Structure 1
């Protein structure tokens, strides 16, 4: 996997992991060092520091005079303060090192944040307690320092584990590709070669149960392939000669030989990985809000700490150590740790859910806007419809022939035609005869000899020209449904007619119903004639239709809807719809399949399924709801906790110590992490 030359300042949490002195390394020294490995190292580092601090905290608590007084015991002995100071120094410098180095870095960058708060709180507690050991009048706060560092390390350890699991989508995708492939040599034998050595045009054998090593086309064999991990399609897809296969999917039953069409960066999987990486690095508007809130919370904390200290020392006459205790408690309780974590965890979780369901978010801001959509414009062909002509009706005008025979004669003659309609007729026919003669009737159809009979497949214009009788009402009704009708003439007699239509996807109806349930207007955009467009719109319950629109006019139609003051999403295939996708507030490239439209749309849907658009809107709504919940969990408790920590209710015997403040802060972090993990595609 290639090295991600990213900037750690764009990491998914409020603090900078490089701030942890232990990790102050340059990525250039670690070629190929992935995000995932980096997080793994940090998780291990916090875990290691936490267990050491926990082990040292036990004797520190036992030796602390305040704890002994609370437990009503006396374990004092000569020199115990010096042992306490020595143990606490290890906790401060070793356990507190990530926070101290972070403080220095934030001050250098003039961006005070969470590290500044923690660093100040533990430094004040340590320096004050050490001064007491050397004769300064006051109480030892080493036990508070130790518990604070331990709880902070535990919070970071939990955070890094959460972030690591959330950011592992890329590694999961990279792991889809097998390490080796069975290269088919010229003499028909196979040789196992590393996947990275495969070239375009190579033939590769894939046995049952094996992963497909790269994108390609089947040249031999039949099988079913599981593409669920890549496209979200749960059912295995049948593959035979000529079909495309995607690298990373799993061959289930038979053996396949494929010709490699794409390798490396051009492959579907690489493009998906690029999109996932873009999504993880894409800035979220809500994230910016959280970062601003964290910055101001830091300013509030330092200000509140100074006011608290000054108020207790200069206005109430309380002891210096009491004022210091209150100051440390205020600094701890306002740590924006959970706030810095609130949004990134939800972002990572939603990106992961989206990728699993076959849609890839390229622009977080556009994805967040999707929750407020007023209208969705759908391209018709290939989005709401299948995009291919399919035989929908066979009209029989002659009792001599069955429907199957009429279709078989037409399909046999159409074998030599390149017309799109010919493909639809051929696909419907189970079998064909070989035509004896074949010729075209300019602008009207084709003719020839099949199975000893003269056959013509012609347009309605030819039939009218020849003044042949047929049930016009039946044909007119089918034509009004936007279908194309061709006539079959056998032995100069009109045998029947075949109607072909661009079939409406079953999922389109469900998608439109779901959109309407969410109060979103559905608009159809097509280059087709109005009659066809109106029929499809009526079938689906579309609110507004733009028909006979040229490709270069599509963006203007999007602008027209936006001019009505609506927030608009454009859904298209990402090829001729590119200008319209760019114009829309949210551009959704649908049906990208094995050619992911990396540069089109803010969101790329892997499958040709309009229902994914509704799933996308639902996920956007759920994601935003979770973000708001997390912001409240992360910062809401500060409203009540800061005054308590400062000692506002001291007269009534209510006071928060720094250790309790640290527990509350860490608890909010855990709640935020757990809440993010509960994000689902849609929530009631």
Structure 2
């Protein structure tokens, strides 16, 4: 089987920048609203409206008032408020604005869904039926299995679970699967938006491939892991379209609260006519219906669904696929983040940081030997040693007939052998010491100096790499130590500090020894660390956190991460990872950037804060409308109420119509905020609550007084008002 020989991207390196998203996807535009209008009109179907109890009540009221308006047109009847007649056409105006209230609510949801459908259309375009070369009787025990067995050409739609296909350069991968043999460069831009190709290879945690992506080089053998219609892209399309979206527990609880408030205000409004009857007056059904609609929580009832859809949409814009709205909400409530060290906190590859010669060795000799031993080493560590040596003015040229000795798990060292019998080795301290001791003992002073240097490097969280040489006569010498260190990503310390202000505890998980883990944790600024972690240790840690009532999030890409991803409240699987990891998590990061977990938490918190802020605004808004309207409605019947008409509304009819208009317009005005989300600032729960009460609570009280008064000034200019 052929192999890829070009340079591979380093594992854990930052992903290529995503392709720019369309402007419409990033925010709200009125062009989107115009496009969503037909969908909003279709949502007026009562069979769809009853899923939103508050707006269903508004629609029922709109139907009732429309029927009364039609009847009044034939009978010549008119409505009244607290014994005061209302102008002609009043009932029709109320009916129109009630229908607009329902339409604006549907428009918010339709715009949110429309953005998802636009993204789904892009994904659907990647789903094409292609020809696949299915291997007949594939034998996984043979490296050249795909060459030794015949293949048949079939349509990608005819592939079934566990089929094995061969894909070569220029061909489209016909279905989701895992590479069982080979390595190739793959263009995943159609799925992830990344312009740079990525490397996929058999074995390890970078073996998963997605149907619809294109192989750019070499040749791979893929085992299909999905059934027709159940591919990753199919699931993405369903999720972003909202077809499989279900209300989250928080949304259900809020729906119950809104329904309860609606019932309470319904009872309040029903008692108004008997109260007016004692004074010898009546209140017409249109007036009572208008009052009910103004007092029930229509603002949040209209925007609740759009807020949830927009939250998932913001994740999609960050190339993260949430399997459910529940996962997005859970991200907002996360209090503990488990972060893998390699590739998340550090760049994933140890880098040479310094050279430390031991007794009676010149530093330049150590640098030259280390660079020579690494000159044929293709690993990131080897390249970093050559680069560090070059930065210090040492660029040795190896002998052309030198034999490369690669690193193996058995020898734990690498280097060069020369024809004259001399050699160079670099590697783990114990392995190199054993190699050097084969030709005689090591001087005590050299051994003591070496031990001191190695211990100091280990204590700082680094890895000591010992360098030794052996001359043609077989005499060996220890030259010194190369300090390899995990490089912590820039800016992480500030981001972890921000998470701490949000009340989130960060835990670094690593397989390193406790001393190294402690040093890296201190440099990165995490709150705690788990060293020498096994899959069982990860699950145990997650369960301990959850038993304390905390919600836990973690990232992973390997099959060994799957149990912990499934146990975590928010499990973010890397798209480059195995199918087992992606099945276990409830989110998939298409960019495979582990640090994005921090952004996911921010988006989740923004969703919860937006919902809480608009709920606060809506309830405060309704209470304010109650005290703004009632005095104006009944001051003709009870003159003493005139003193409470602080806004100086022109008449009962003007007050009612102004309130209905404001009730509809405020929904339209808040659609951009519901879709964009309330700006999130790192703060504790009490700080966020105080800000919501101050900004949206006080704003919700003040807005009706200002808005209704301004509308009343305009309405009072109409004839009869």
Q: TM-score, normalised by structure 2?
A: 0.64
Q: Distance in 1 between matches of 2:486 and 2:235?
A: 30
Q: Does 1:487 align with 2:428?
A: no
Q: Deviations over 1:246-283 (max 9, x none)?
A: 6589889x888776665766865456557657997254
Alignment partner, residue 655 of structure 1: 652
1:368-387 aligned within 5 A: 368-387=329-348
- Deviation at residue 632 of structure 1 after TM alignment: 3.3
Task: Tell me if 1:330 matches 2:291.
Answer: yes
Residue aligning to 2:278: 315
Per the alignment, do residues 339 and 400 of structure 1 end up closer, same or farther by CA in structure 2, a change over 3 Å counting?
closer
**2:527 counterpart of 1:543:** yes
Are 1:116 and 2:57 matched, yes or no? yes
2-side partners of 1:140 and 1:278: how far apart? 41
Residue 304 (structure 1) aligned to one of 265, 268, 278? 268
> 1:291 deviation in Å?
0.8
C-alpha deviation, 1:506, in angstroms:
0.9
- Comparing 643-652 with 608-617, which one deviates more in the overlay? 643-652
How many Å separate the matches in 1 of 2:526 and 2:54? 51
Equivalent residue number for residue 435 of structure 1: 403
Retained in 1: the 8 A contact 2:423–2:470?
yes
Match of 1:94 in 2: none
Find the counterpart in structure 2 of residue 92 from structure 1: none
Q: Deviations over 1:145-197 (max 9, x none)?
A: 652465246425523532332432661452351646687999xxxxx997646
Residue 251 to residue 345, structure 1, CA distance change in 2 (3 Å): same
2: CA distance, partners of 1:632 / 1:438: 65
1:98 corresponds in structure 2 to 45
Rounded to whole Å, the distance in 2 between the matches of 1:614 and 1:339 is 28
Q: Indicate the residue corresponding to 1:615 in structure 2.
A: 599
State the Cα distance separating 1:296 from its structure 2 match.
2.0
Alignment counterpart, residue 453 of structure 2, candidates 451, 469, 474: 474
Residue 627 of structure 1 deviates from its aligned partner by 1.1
Q: What do residues 110-131 of structure 1 show as CA deviations (whole Å, max 9, x unaligned)?
A: x964323432453255247527
Q: Is the 8 A contact 1:371 1:620 kept in 2?
A: yes
In structure 1, runs of 5+ residues without a counterpart are 1-38, 50-96, 187-191, 416-421
Displacement of 1:530 in angstroms is 1.6
Provide closer, same or farther for how the CA distance between residues 553 and 683 of structure 1 changes in structure 2, counting only shifts above 3 A: closer
Following the alignment from structure 1 to structure 2, what is the Cα–Cα distance between the partners of residues 525 and 381? Answer: 9
Cα separation, 2, equivalents of 1:642 and 1:370: 37
Matched, 1:668 2:652: no
Change in CA separation of 1:433 and 1:522 when aligned onto 2, cut-off 3 Å: farther
Distance change (3 Å), C-alpha of 1:398 and 1:608: farther
Q: Does 1:281 align with 2:242?
A: no
Compared with structure 1, are the counterparts of its residues 277 and 579 closer, same or farther at alpha carbon in structure 2 (3 Å cutoff)?
A: farther
Inter-CA distance 565–222: structure 2 relative to 1 (3 Å threshold): closer
What does residue 11 of structure 1 align with? Answer: none
Q: Which residue of 2 aligns with 1:524?
A: 508
Match status 1:340 vs 2:262: no
The answer on 1:295 being equivalent to 2:279 is: no
RMSD: 5.1
Shift of 1:628: 1.9
Q: Is the 8 A contact 1:231 1:607 kept in 2?
A: yes
2:18 aligned partner? none
Contact 1:460 1:485 in 2 (8 A): yes
1:335–1:665 Cα contact (<8 Å) kept: no
Q: Which residue of 1 aligns with 2:124?
A: 175
Superimposed CA distance per residue, residues 313-338 of structure 1 (whole angstroms, 9 cap, x where no aligned partner): x22323x5x53342132233246543
Decide whether the 8 Å contact of 1:290 with 1:340 is kept in 2.
no
Matched, 1:350 2:334: no
- Indicate the residue corresponding to 2:107 in structure 1: 158
1:80-229 pair list within 5 angstroms: 98-99=45-46, 113-124=54-65, 126-127=67-68, 130=71, 133-134=74-75, 143-144=92-93, 147-148=96-97, 150-152=99-101, 154-155=103-104, 158-168=107-117, 171-172=120-121, 174-175=123-124, 177=126, 179=128, 196=157, 200-203=164-167, 205-206=169-170, 227=189
Cα distance in structure 2, aligned partners of 1:604 and 1:591 = 6
Residues 566, 379 of structure 1: alpha-carbon distance in 2 compared, 3 angstrom cutoff: same
Deviates more, 1:537-546 or 1:622-631: 537-546
Q: How many residues were matched structurally?
A: 574
Distance 1:204 1:648, change over 3 A: farther
> Residue 483 of structure 1: CA displacement?
0.8
Q: Using the alignment, how far apart are the partners of 1:148 and 1:235 within structure 2?
A: 49
**Counterparts in 2 of 1:201 and 1:453: CA distance versus 1, 3 Å:** farther
The 3-state SS of whatever aligns with 1:201 is strand
- Equivalent position of 2:610 in the other structure: 626
Q: Is the 8 A contact 1:177 1:211 kept in 2?
A: no
d(CA) in 1 for partners of 2:518 and 2:192? 32
> Does the 8 A contact of 2:310 with 2:675 survive in 1?
yes
1:44 to 28, 35, 38: 38
Any conservation in 2 of the 1:644–1:655 contact (CA below 8 Å)? no
Residue pair 1:294, 1:340 contacting (<8 A) in 2 also? yes
User: What is the CA–CA distance in structure 1 between the aligned matches of 2:133 and 2:103, rounded to whole Å?
Assistant: 54
- Structure 1 residues 322-331 or 213-222, which shifts more? 213-222
Query: How many angstroms does 1:678 deviate by?
Result: 2.5
Q: Which residue of 1 is the match for residue 677 of structure 2? A: 679
Residues 41 and 496 (structure 1), Cα distance of their counterparts in 2 relative to 1, 3 Å cut: same
CA contact (8 A) 2:175 2:231 kept: no
CA contact (8 A) 2:320 2:588 kept: yes
Partner Cα distance (2:539, 2:243) in 1: 25
TM norm structure 1: 0.67
Change (3 A) 1:500 1:226: farther
CA contact (8 A) 1:212 1:251 kept: no
CA positional deviation for 1:286: 3.4
- Sort the Cα spacing of 1:562 and 1:499 in 2 relative to 1 into closer, same or farther, 3 A: farther
Is the 1:377–1:523 Cα contact (8 Å) retained in structure 2?
Answer: yes
Q: Which moved more, 1:237-246 or 1:506-515?
A: 237-246
CA distance in 1, matches of 2:63, 2:408: 89
Contact conserved, 2:36 with 2:107, CA < 8 A, in 1? no
Alpha-carbon distance in structure 2 between the residues aligned to 1:366 and 1:356: 16
Work out the CA distance in 2 between the residues paired with 1:680 and 1:256.
48
Q: 2:566·2:585 contact (CA, 8 Å) conserved in 1? A: yes
Q: Deviations over 1:491-530 (max 9, x none)?
A: 3433646647572441544543433454533333334322
- Unmatched 5+ residue regions in structure 2? 1-32, 80-87, 136-152, 388-397, 643-649, 683-721
